[in-house]
Amino acid sequence: MTAKKPQITTAGADPRLAGGRLTIDLDALAANWLFLAKKSKPAETSAVVKADAYGLGIVHVVPALWQAGCRTFFVALAEEGLRVKAVAPDARVLVLNGFFAEAFETYGQSDLIPVLGSIHELDLWKSLNARRKDKLPFALHVDTGMNRLGLSLTEALAFAADMRDQKPVLLMTHLATADEQAHALNLKQIESFQKLRGAFAGIESSIANSPGIFHARIGEYELSRPGVAMYGGEPLSSAANPMRRVVTLEARVVQIRTGLKGETVGYGATTTLERDTRIAVCSAGYADGYLRSASGSGVPLRAAVPNGGVGFVAGSKVPIIGRVTMDLTSFDITDLPVDTVSPGDFIELFGHNIALDDAARAAGTIGYELLTSLGNRYHRRYLKSESN
């Protein structure tokens, strides 16, 4: 049986004018979500689509996940929640980053659910909700070891003893070290959350982020919340990545030039050429989310991590040479056969041949930051199989 060609939806910059392109495989995204949903059973699986779906676009990502079966979505901000509702009106959408009084009317009109994480927010929500006949739902975030958002364990237990008309629809916490499965804090947080679940009996609970889904006790909770793993990022720091690649980033070659032995390259003259060197200068830089810390030289990170980022072109990996600048990045293509790379060609920055997280490590960061930093100057291609 011949495989159907994927449909291609485009967005962003005109491909004739753009300096780079992003290819987002929505089939791989959906497959990753289904894999995580199967692993999460018997828990329901939601999807974290904050930061514009990790930089890939809520308007494209949410419909693909909805079609795959996802019905609950998490965002950071109410504004993001409205964008989810615009493309998935029947979705349950929870807003993570706190609650402010001036947003209450929006929650009432849009069916968004705030995740409340302090006594102040609970009191504020209760006072505003008291004016309504139909009380609006809320979720409760409890801090079990992250020391970020959330009620303390003591505050949450006291609240549970006197819930009355303020019963949350969801109880949640966030794991701080789930990507390190052996870390002692995981067990401590799970045990604390178990105490909470007893006090909040009958209320849906959620603890597992992407790496948390791979923890043996995930099945004890009713809702998992995958984020980066859906988008192809590594869920665990100590195991091979089981997720399918979703995003490929490529930059166009602007110019091929030759630098002579003894000359320097780029800002700061941080690289002195040890041989005559063919250089491919590409139209992507830190203004496009390709981080300056990935530079081949001249950045503090190189003292700790000797090798900078690499690109992939003409069947080979090629190193960044000099500093990544605002709009341009240079690669050493000397070891490639002459005339195999030309202006207008594309060099892969991460994707099929360079893993997202490998590119991130070369820049001293994580895949999350690379994805959410992607700029708006790329031409974007969204690939999806034809509907049956």
Residue 219 has pLDDT above 70, yes or no: no
Residues 1-13: b if buried by 16+ CB within 10 A, e if exposed: eeeeeeeeeeebb
Quick one: angle between helices 78-87 and 58-68, nearest 10? 60
The answer to whether residue 297 scores a pLDDT higher than 90 is: yes
Q: How confident is the model at residue 4 (pLDDT cuts 50, 70, 90)?
A: low
Which residues fall within 8 angstroms of residue 100, CB to CB, at 6 or more apart?
none
Q: What is the overall mean pLDDT for the chain?
A: 95
Spatial separation of the C-alpha atoms in residues 33 and 46, rounded to whole Å: 9
pLDDT score recorded for residue 76:
98
Looking at per-residue confidence, does 221 or 217 come out higher? 221
pLDDT at 388: 42
**Domains observed in the chain:** 26-231 (3.20.20.10), 247-354 (2.40.37.10)
Per-residue pLDDT tens for 229-251?
Answer: 999 999 998 899 999 999 999 99
Assess whether the previous peptide bond of 42 is cis (omega < 30° from 0): yes
Where are the strands (E) in the chain, listed by range?
Answer: 7-12, 20-25, 44-45, 47-48, 72-75, 92-95, 113-116, 139-141, 170-172, 204-206, 223-224, 247-259, 264-265, 271-272, 277-282, 310-313, 316-319, 329-332, 346-350, 379-384
Please give the model's pTM, rounded to 2 decimal places. Answer: 0.95
Rounded mean pLDDT, 322-330:
98
Torsion over CA: 168, 169, 174, 178 (sign): positive
Q: Which residue has the higher pLDDT, 269 or 131?
A: 269
**Which are the catalytic amino acids?**
50, 267
b or e along 89-100 (b: 16 or more beta carbons within 10 Å of the residue's beta carbon)? eebbbbbbebbe
pLDDT at 163: 81
What's the pLDDT at 237? 86
Nearest to 228 by CA among 36, 81, 40: 36
Tell me the pLDDT band of 298, cut-offs 50, 70 and 90.
very high
- The Cα-based distances of 339 to 259, 280, 333, 335, 346 in angstroms read 16, 12, 10, 12, 14
Rounded to whole angstroms, the Cα distance separating 146 from 71 reads 27
Indicate the length of the chain as a whole number: 388
What is the Rg, in whole angstroms, of the alpha carbon atoms belonging to the chain? 24
Q: What's the token pair of residue 44?
A: 């329901």
Q: Tens digits of per-residue pLDDT, 275-294?
A: 999 999 999 999 999 999 99
Check pLDDT > 50 for residue 373.
yes
User: What is d(CA 337, CA 360) in angstroms, rounded to the nearest whole number?
Assistant: 28
The whole-angstrom distance between residue 117's C-alpha and the CA centroid of its chain comes to 22
